[in-house]
């Protein structure tokens, strides 16, 4: 077969549309300049078209050399984005023209060198011979993974955890109120949420939403909807205002910034950083995401746009992004398809908090993007007694012996906001733990503004200041992951410990260059 020319292979691929595209491509390797995932071939042959991601060859080559760590981080971010855009325009030009000539709609990304498209099978056969595409990946729909149901709380448990009114137990557990008393509530900091959407006008969220000035709402640069083709969601496609068709996102936002204010009776203080502002992007349709939706929200976070998805302004990017989802490899999300996007967000000076997932208690269960990436900061889940949740995923991550999760945070029976205008104390999962850490980062940045744009330093401080006192494992001291038991710190079950906001804010006092 190696002697076949492209003009000999292409008719064979076209003819295969009436039989087996998968077999034809395998029998014509010379034509396969682009590596096509078998799932893409199978779906195209079965359905006549396929939702796919075209991965350009140049994904990870440094664009600018090492970015400077001094000076204004916003200038560094602008330079990074300019280089990313230029690379995408150069590398994608031929593919875009090819798609346009065939009337095939496409969505182009620059945060990673990718194009998302629904390809007719005939076009896929022609695409296989192109040499400017490295591979064609599936763009599968990934359902939100929630943890196993925990045992129902007893009255004594409820008394210990508290109720939704007042300061939520998780917020108190990580000592956020001590930071508030020192004058730092997250003021001047923006938290970005990527989730199922948000009830932005929930009493606990509206005051902190960046698109609300106390009188009127302006969703430009504060909201983006990456759902364009749903037929089942209660939210409109391309919704012009924040909408949440599941409630999960409203819950996560309630943990990182929720507070219905001094005038509320009774008051609900569910958020770690009630003085921060928040913005949001919907990357799941009724709890179902795709790699392209996740990437679209990441790109928007790095350079938010208006409601027409135009006039990007990277100076309006958030300081920290909270991610309470996973993109499962077992359902077709390739391990590296999101990695470049996550890496560029962090290179742009944004702290990237990621749920460690809910596949415990076995070891090596942190196995899906984005938690598997080195640029992510992973969070496990503990309960009101600082016991590691049974469902919380453990490390190590593959053959990488880096400690993961990085830290843990309250994630069992957490009190937060839910649609419509309600509250709950049953929010459970690493989904609930992650926004606790995002909120702590906001407190740190409000206390030490010089930390903004330095996510690596922030991560180092969080790991160094996490508490280990009283933190235990549900399996007892016998469980050992990666050869490290729970009694040794750090470990692959809880990480460096349970996050502590007061410790984290005190630590930078001793770091040169981060004086208040």
- Tell me, yes or no, whether 350 and 463 share the same domain: yes
pLDDT bracket for residue 283 (50, 70, 90): very high
Distance CA 419, CA 200 (A): 10
Long-range contacts of 15-23 (CB under 8 A, 24+ apart): 16/45, 16/125, 17/45, 17/121, 17/122, 17/125, 20/45, 21/45, 21/121, 21/124, 21/125
Distance CA 500, CA 356 (A): 18
Phi, psi of 481 (to 5 degrees): -120, 135
Mean pLDDT score, 52-63: 76
pLDDT bracket for residue 142 (50, 70, 90): confident
* pLDDT reading at 129 higher than 90: no
- Cβ atoms 249, 321 nearer than 8 A: no
- Tell me, yes or no, whether 192 and 341 share the same domain: yes
Confirm whether 150 is domain-assigned. no
* pLDDT reading at 19 higher than 60: no
Confirm whether 146 is domain-assigned. no
* pLDDT reading at 303 higher than 60: yes
Quote the domain boundaries for residue 492. 155-510
pLDDT bracket for residue 477 (50, 70, 90): low
Matching residue, tokens 């209660």:
234
Least confident range of 188-192, 259-263, 405-409: 259-263
Confirm whether 148 is domain-assigned. no
pLDDT on residue 472 = 85
pLDDT on residue 225 = 98
What are 386-396's pLDDT values in tens digits? Answer: 999 999 999 99
pLDDT on residue 128 = 79
Mean pLDDT score, 498-508: 92
Instruction: Please report the DSSP string for 465-491 in residue order.
Output: H-B-TT-EETTGGG-EETTEETTSSSB
DSSP 240: S
Confirm whether 217 is domain-assigned. yes
**CATH number of the domain encompassing residue 322:** 3.40.50.200
404 vs 151 pLDDT, higher one: 404
pLDDT on residue 150 = 47
Number of domains the chain contains: 2
* pLDDT reading at 27 higher than 70: no
pLDDT on residue 275 = 98
Mean pLDDT score, 381-390: 95
Distance CA 404, CA 378 (A): 7
Confirm whether 106 is domain-assigned. yes
pLDDT on residue 216 = 97
Mean pLDDT score, 479-506: 94
pLDDT on residue 155 = 35
Distance CA 405, CA 392 (A): 10
Find, among 268, 275, 332, the residue nearest to 140 by Cα: 332
- Cβ atoms 159, 384 nearer than 8 A: no
Confirm whether 515 is domain-assigned. no
pLDDT bracket for residue 57 (50, 70, 90): confident
Find, among 478, 491, 333, 495, the residue nearest to 430 by Cα: 495
pLDDT bracket for residue 515 (50, 70, 90): low
- Tell me, yes or no, whether 172 and 229 share the same domain: yes
- Tell me, yes or no, whether 174 and 91 share the same domain: no
Task: Give the residue from 76, 111, 139 where a domain finishes.
Answer: 139
- Tell me, yes or no, whether 357 and 475 share the same domain: yes
Confirm whether 193 is domain-assigned. yes
What are 315-367's pLDDT values in tens digits? Answer: 999 999 999 999 987 666 777 889 999 999 999 999 999 999 999 999 999 99
What sign has the CA pseudo-torsion 300, 303, 307, 310? Answer: negative
pLDDT on residue 398 = 85
What are 436-475's pLDDT values in tens digits? Answer: 999 999 999 999 999 999 999 999 999 999 999 988 887 7
Confirm whether 428 is domain-assigned. yes
Distance separating the N- and C-terminal Cα atoms of the chain = 68
Distance CA 393, CA 357 (A): 5
311 C-beta neighbours (distance < 10 Å), count: 11
Find, among 145, 316, 278, 306, the residue nearest to 202 by Cα: 278
């Amino acid at each position: 077969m190696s002697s076949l020319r492209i003009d000999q292979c292409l008719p064979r691929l076209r003819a295969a549309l009436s039989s087996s595209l998968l077999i034809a491509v395998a029998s014509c390797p010379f034509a396969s300049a682009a590596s096509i995932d078998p799932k893409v071939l199978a779906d195209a042959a079965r359905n006549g078209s396929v939702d796919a991601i075209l991965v350009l060859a140049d994904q990870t080559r440094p664009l600018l050399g090492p970015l400077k760590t001094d000076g204004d981080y916003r200038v560094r971010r602008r330079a990074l984005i300019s280089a990313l855009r230029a690379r995408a325009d150069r590398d994608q030009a031929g593919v875009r023209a090819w798609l346009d000539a065939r009337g095939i709609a496409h969505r182009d990304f620059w945060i990673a060198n990718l194009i998302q498209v629904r390809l007719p099978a005939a076009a896929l056969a022609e695409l296989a011979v192109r040499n400017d595409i490295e591979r064609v990946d599936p763009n599968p729909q990934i359902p939100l993974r929630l943890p196993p149901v925990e045992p129902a709380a007893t009255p004594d448990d409820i008394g210990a955890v508290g109720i939704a009114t007042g300061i939520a137990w998780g917020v108190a557990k990580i000592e956020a109120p001590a930071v508030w008393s020192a004058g730092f509530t997250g003021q001047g900091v923006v938290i970005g949420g990527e989730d199922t959407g948000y009830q932005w006008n929930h009493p606990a969220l509206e005051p902190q939403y960046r698109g609300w000035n106390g009188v009127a709402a302006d969703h430009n640069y504060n909201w983006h909807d990456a759902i364009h083709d749903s037929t089942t969601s209660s939210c409109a496609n391309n919704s012009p205002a924040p909408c949440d068709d599941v409630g999960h996102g409203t819950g996560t936002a309630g943990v990182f910034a929720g507070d219905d204010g001094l005038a509320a009776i009774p008051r609900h203080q569910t958020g770690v950083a009630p003085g921060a502002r928040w913005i949001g992007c919907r990357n799941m349709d009724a709890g179902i995401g795709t790699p392209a939706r996740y990437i679209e929200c990441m790109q928007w976070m790095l350079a938010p746009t208006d409601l027409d998805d135009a006039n990007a302004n990277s100076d309006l990017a958030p300081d920290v992004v909270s991610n309470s989802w996973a993109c499962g490899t077992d359902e077709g999300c390739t391990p590296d398809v999101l990695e470049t996007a996550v890496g560029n967000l962090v290179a742009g000076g944004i702290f990237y908090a990621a749920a460690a997932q809910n596949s415990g208690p076995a070891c090596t269960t942190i196995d899906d993007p984005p938690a598997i990436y080195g640029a992510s900061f992973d969070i496990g889940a503990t309960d009101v007694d600082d016991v590691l949740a049974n469902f919380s995923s453990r490390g190590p991550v593959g053959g990488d012996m880096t400690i993961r999760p990085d830290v843990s945070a309250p994630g069992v029976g957490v009190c937060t906001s839910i649609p419509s205008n309600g509250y709950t104390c049953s929010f459970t999962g690493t989904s609930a733990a992650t926004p606790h850490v995002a909120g702590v980062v906001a407190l740190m940045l409000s206390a030490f503004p010089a930390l903004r744009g330095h996510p690596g330093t922030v991560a180092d401080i969080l790991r160094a200041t996490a508490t280990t006192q009283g933190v235990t494992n549900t399996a007892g001291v016998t469980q050992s992951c990666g050869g490290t038991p729970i009694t040794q710190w750090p470990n692959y079950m809880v990480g460096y410990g349970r996050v502590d906001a007061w410790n984290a804010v005190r630590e930078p006092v001793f770091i040169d260059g981060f004086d208040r």
